[in-house]
Chains A and B, each alone.
Chain A
Amino acid sequence: MIARQVAWLCLGLLVGAGCNSTVERGYYAPLGASFSTSITPQQDKTADLIVDVTCQGVYLNTVEGKLTRTAHIQLDITRTSATQVLFPVDGMRLDAIIDAVEDLPEIVDTEALLPDEVWSRRLKMHEMVLVNPWSNRSLDIFFDFVDDEQPIPSLLRFRWRAEADSGWSYGDDQFLRIPEGDPRIPPALPASDKEFGMRNGYYFPGYGVLGPRGLRDSVEVRPHYLFHAP
């Protein structure tokens, strides 16, 4: 009888742990930057290109009816030159490093991801993202994890490349997860409205599970139009 109760207890703990792991959201800061409750972008800057990379973290959302773990990266690209620049979608990659060890150069477990969706405001990008001369463009990039059961990655490595007349540019931005329980994890503040939950640069902070991912109607001018129902 006691063994049975212990077994149920263990099962309950396991289920609880499993639920926790799915509800949990990972928040990240650029590697080397101090943690902050405000989101911190990482900037790649050359003479003719400024790319601000922001990591909204890893959360669960519903994609095509299925609960999916997703890493959400935002790019704010400013072309400061007289020629256009092209960002191939397949040149954007995310290495989700499950258990990065600080002292160990080798990566213990990595999931390499290509973008599942890339959006520029209301437009879905497919092969190439073009940024015109002397202009700015923002992107939402979603990397859906194949295996939802994996722990939340401790390190995200986002790489991109871009082609211009002057040659190729490359970016390599790493984001370190803010440890669970750290006071600088964005507080779980309720979303102030249903369409848009930005606070301190974070998208719906405090929410580990967001609703269906999709384009929402909006008459407002926004840098991002792909919203989730929280």
Chain B
Amino acid sequence: MRSGLVVVVFALVACDGVIVPGPGGGIDGPLPIDPIGGTGGGDTTPGPTPVERACMTRTVATQPLRRLTFEQYQRTLAQLFGTLAPRVLTTSRFPETTLTRGFSADAENNTVNTSQSNAIEDEAERVATVMLADPQPFLRGLMPCTLSTPATDAQVDGCVDAFISSFGALAYRRPTTAAERAIAKQVYTEVRPDQGPAKAIIAVTQFFIQSPALLYRVERGGAAAPLAGLLELGDHELAGRLAFLFTDGPPDAVLTAAAERGELHTKEQVAAQARRLMTNPTFLSTAALFLRDWLHLYEANVGKDAAQFPRYTPAVVQSLEREPLEALRFVLERSDKKLSTLLGGTSLPVDATLAGYYGVTAPGAGWEPTGLPNRRGLLTRASVMAALAKPAQTGTIHRGNFFRHEVLCEPTLTLPPNVDISTPLMGTSNLPTARERLAPTTNSAECRGCHSQINPLGLALEGYDPAGQFRTTENGATIDTSGSVDVGGGQRSFQTGEELAGLIADGRKARDCYARQWFRNSVGRIEMPEDACSIATLQQAFEQSNGDLGELLVAVTQLDTFFYRRSPE
């Protein structure tokens, strides 16, 4: 997937020594620290808490219209076709989602160019062609009436309105309007005379699965919200938000039924559904998609230099792709559900392939928690370290900047205006370790201001080579991975990447950042100033749950940004 990723990587890694903001950059001002539950020191002055300050003006930012991602469209088709889905999901022409920033569901990652518009049309035509090849099972499976085998023309004609209502409601994730039913009925009316009822029904199906009401998550809101200028989302709209957040697909029958009963608009009702959805088998893979996008795990597909890293085999890559999901599964289902365990746990799962790659005794069948020397948590696992490295280089600056910007959510660094980067870099390529190679340039007076914040993180990770293997030397010289970092509460020293991971996992900044990243993922956009209250509230809730991953997601559903939208201008 994501044909554009390679160029994104290119932009980021192209210039060691040049400060490049990471993707997903947004409002990166000082993180609000809650003095009540925080471990990071912070604000001790009397007066309102950071949350109270952020919420002095409660509002929400404009929510852009989001188109379904590739995965969401597949899950929509699966729901629409039910037991017949395997017949139509064999291949897909639907355009893949290309990340240019943030998360897959970001509205800006799912715009539609001409090629993609044509691909959506082709996908609907492809599905229709599958149906045309053997229409009777589809008629019986999709139409909400009792049909004979084969169905008679009269039976199909008599059921078309019911079909449009039921299939349309499922496709649009809400009851259809009379105008929408009329549009669909016109397709049937136009095709039926020349081609018969079966082909006409298939044409209606072809219409529904490329209709903008299916492709786009349209949210209009209804009644005025208690906050000025905002509208409350309706029950079906909240059902959609819940479903896409937790299952990356359309609402299931329980959500839809609750919405139809009008029982999906209070915070309690929404929270109850959120907790239920986290038991859905799809939830885990949905949360793993978050990890994939947050940690840029998709970048692993650029591969490694085969001559240098012969052990980085396709089998290893396959297991590495699964490693984050299995780590998350372990933390959520077999451990304490805490972020500190996901990022700093001493025993996360490996399979036999990865055990061999890491040089430890293989567990039994499947994935089992295994302690790995010189590593803690997911961030120092090979899946992450390899994804953040170049094919033949570790990408010290990139790794450091990524940890700083995406894991700790530190502010974007700004290049001082007086720096002349045309100044020749020192010829350091023959020096043995990254620390020595980078020192002449990044320790200079004009560069030190920024690189003193980036380099320690990247150099700590030099203990993991471009393929994610642990190492202690480079070019025969001992790698110095020591440094210090502020993970919340002041500078802390570390000697190794493993120690760094432990500090990050236990620090307030990582928890606040993780909450911020989930906020970005949930709204599908970069945060805006109007989101300050929601973000501060979310961070506080996460802190008060001691970093409980499940409670964080419930808290996402309790925010103003989840319940309200701005009135259209």
Are the chains A and B members of one assembly?
Answer: no
A residues with CB within 8 A of B? none
B residues with CB within 8 A of A? none
